[in-house]
Structure 1
Amino acid sequence: MMKLYKLLSFSFLVATLTSCTFTENMYVNDNGSGKFSVDIDGSALMEMAGDQLGNQMGADAKKNIDSTFTFKQLIAEKQDSISKLSPEAQKEIKKLENFVFNIKMNGEQKQFLMNIATDFKSVSELQDILQSMSTLQKLEGGTAPATPFAGLGDNKSKLSYTYDGKKFTRKAIIDKQKLAEKPADSTADMSKMMFASSNYVIKYHFPKRVKKVSNPNALFSEDRKTITIQYPFTDYMENPDKLNFDVEFEK
């Protein structure tokens, strides 16, 4: 079995070398609890260069992979490095303890899928959760994110969600101080590679029928309980407030 960080390094390579589809999923229950996940589909690179990448990864990569681990395991393995971080950074990383990471790779089907997921008791628990991912970058000395999801928190905004049964809001506020900071070359280069032709899809599932969405590009499921909105990945990274919207529900 491949070591954890070898697998993560390979998944990061896939995410940065090809156009990917990032899908932010949320399932909300009547009581406001639910499940949040982010999926990355990097199958395009497997289609183009699966054999070459498999050779780089060795014999294990030629087998079908379906591997799952918790961020709690990752945090435990890197505890020495984490203890050297600031209290604020340690607090951010602790938010990720309940996330589960899954990676699937199938050479014959040219499939490469990654997923992180967590349950929540209230959508308010998800505040800045993607921004917490960027803190993982510090575990590798700041040279590269520890997972391909780490770059998702590097869009210089603060993200929050609210839900009261009548209305749901997704809101990102630009952090002007971070916006003024010059990014490290490695981060900028990574972002440019991912920007090119990737998409960011929001897919939210609600317990009630949706009356209206403030974003005119929203698509509805047949029962009007699921909305889907697709954005260029450049909007997510460079103009995150474009992804803000409100959802109102039928009575």
Structure 2
Amino acid sequence: MKKYFKYVLAVALSVFFVSCYEVNEEIEINSDGSGTYVTKMDMGQLIDMMQTFAGDEELKKDGLDKVYDTTILFKSLLDSAKDVTAEQKELMKDGKMKMQMNIKEKIFKMDMNFPFKDQNSLQLLMSGKGGSGTGISSAFKNMFGKKDEPADQPGAPKAPDMGDFAAIYDVTIKNGLIQKKVNAAKYKEFMDRPEMAQMKQLNSSGMEILYTTTIKLPRAAKKTDNPMIKLSEDKKTVTMKYNLLELLENPDKFAYSIQY
């Protein structure tokens, strides 16, 4: 089982941005500021790539021809995880991930669920401090990697993950306000990374990462400032859909403020 997880997670992390797939970010806020932060990733198209590079026989040797449906509690990963801060551990300790994989049916899904206790915790999650960001990647590598496996070389290119994208925004969460503004310095630092030139080529070639944010508010929204935002009939559900790779060219397009 460990060999299976290590292989699958390595593929998912290293090929994260080389295939178009869908991400759904679902946030539910209760009247007391608590709630749930859920990220659902459908990476079924990675299976074709895995079959191309590894071949069906190799996948069968590793047991990947079997059907997997399992739930991982992040609490079991965090005690031994390196490079995960105390803040990240606190955010992630009650979280869980459901993984489904079926090669034959082209199914590869990861659903991550993190309850949050207050507005500050949600602000950290939306800022890329937890969820599908670097904290989880570190936890996965620590749990499923070999003890004698060499660490990443200093200065080596690192493929960006969702946490890196989220981190270019300054997020403000208050009672009655959800706001995301581009942090120009963080955006410049992000785009100056050597691997980002390749990322921009993916966007120009028509690649897509379809990203949907859905926020369920404790009361009706009063005002939003982004025309891409759609409100439900009762104005308690906010939805925004876009191609995440477009953020590389115009991050301000996806900034927003929601008053409720």
The TM-score range, normalised by the shorter chain, is: 0.7 to 0.9
> In the alignment, which residue of structure 1 is the partner of 2:37?
36
1:159-238 correspondence to structure 2 within 5 Å: 159-164=170-175, 167-174=176-183, 176=185, 179-180=188-189, 182-185=192-195, 189=198, 193=202, 196-237=207-248
How far did residue 11 of structure 1 move? 2.5
% identical equivalent positions: 22
1:66-85 correspondence to structure 2 within 5 Å: 66-78=69-81, 82=82
d(CA) in 1 for partners of 2:96, 2:136:
15
> In the alignment, which residue of structure 1 is the partner of 2:144?
none
Quick one: structure 1 residues 246 and 44, their matched pair in 2 at CA, closer, same or farther if it must change by over 3 Å? same
> For 1:39, what is the secondary structure of its paired residue?
strand
> Any gaps of 5 or more consecutive residues in structure 2?
142-150
Say whether 1:127 aligns with 2:138. Answer: no
* Number of residue pairs aligned between Structure 1 and Structure 2: 234
> For 1:105, what is the secondary structure of its paired residue?
strand
Q: CA RMSD in A?
A: 3.3
How far did residue 151 of structure 1 move? 0.7
d(CA) in 2 for partners of 1:244, 1:173:
7
> For 2:120, what is the secondary structure of its paired residue?
helix
Query: Counterpart amino acid of 1:151?
Result: D
How far did residue 128 of structure 1 move? 3.8
How far did residue 51 of structure 1 move? 4.9
Say whether 1:151 aligns with 2:161. Answer: yes
Asked if the contact 1:134–1:151 (Cα under 8 Å) also holds between the matched residues in 2, the reply is: yes
Q: TM-score if structure 1 supplies the norm length?
A: 0.74
How far did residue 26 of structure 1 move? 0.2
Higher share of residues assigned helix: 1
Query: Counterpart amino acid of 1:224?
Result: K
d(CA) in 2 for partners of 1:178, 1:202:
20
How far did residue 144 of structure 1 move? 7.6
How far did residue 75 of structure 1 move? 2.8
d(CA) in 1 for partners of 2:234, 2:76:
39
> Any gaps of 5 or more consecutive residues in structure 1?
none
Query: Counterpart amino acid of 2:59?
Result: M
1:35-54 correspondence to structure 2 within 5 Å: 35-46=36-47, 48=48, 51-52=51-52
> In the alignment, which residue of structure 2 is the partner of 1:100?
96
Query: Counterpart amino acid of 1:134?
Result: T
